[in-house]
Amino acid sequence: MNGFEELDVWKLAREICNDVWIIIESTSLGKDYSLKNQMNDSSGSIMDNIAEGFERNGNREFIQFLSIAKASCGELRSQLYRCLDRKHITKTQFDNIFSKTITEGKKIGAFMSYLKKSERKGAKYD
């Protein structure tokens, strides 16, 4: 593996982040500054924590950062409800991003389980 950019969990996180940016730019969410910033931060946190954890070169630290990324998926789901309730987005827009965060959380959880069971503990232990 060359870099975090090759990880499916990072690719999906990037897609989620872009989806959030699209609704920020194209809906009234852009004018709800506090919620907009929170959603931009939490979606970015998913992909950024995956990248940072990967670059630590050790499974234990990577798992810790994946856990933070997984929690950010939950945070974003909660924010999506607020966004829907405030009528910034349609139910279709909500469902699209919401389902991706569910899938992402499951993928991150499975990846964490894999890393916990792995014999290889990371490049910094080689």
pLDDT at 20 exceeding the cut of 60? yes
Burial letters 94-126, b for 16+ CB under 10 A, else e: beebbebbeebbebbeebbeebeeeeeebeeee
Q: Identify the CATH number of the domain defined by range 10-118.
A: 1.20.1440.60
Task: Express each pLDDT in 28-71 by its tens digit.
Answer: 999 999 999 999 999 999 999 999 999 998 889 999 999 999 99
Q: Read off the pLDDT band of 120 (50, 70, 90).
A: confident
Provide the pLDDT confidence category of residue 125 given band limits of 50, 70 and 90: low
Q: How many residues does the chain have?
A: 126
Contact between 76 and 16 (Cβ < 8 Å):
yes
State the pLDDT at residue 58. 85
DSSP string, 25-72: HHSGGGG-HHHHHHHHHHHHHHHHHHHHHHHT--HHHHHHHHHHHHHH
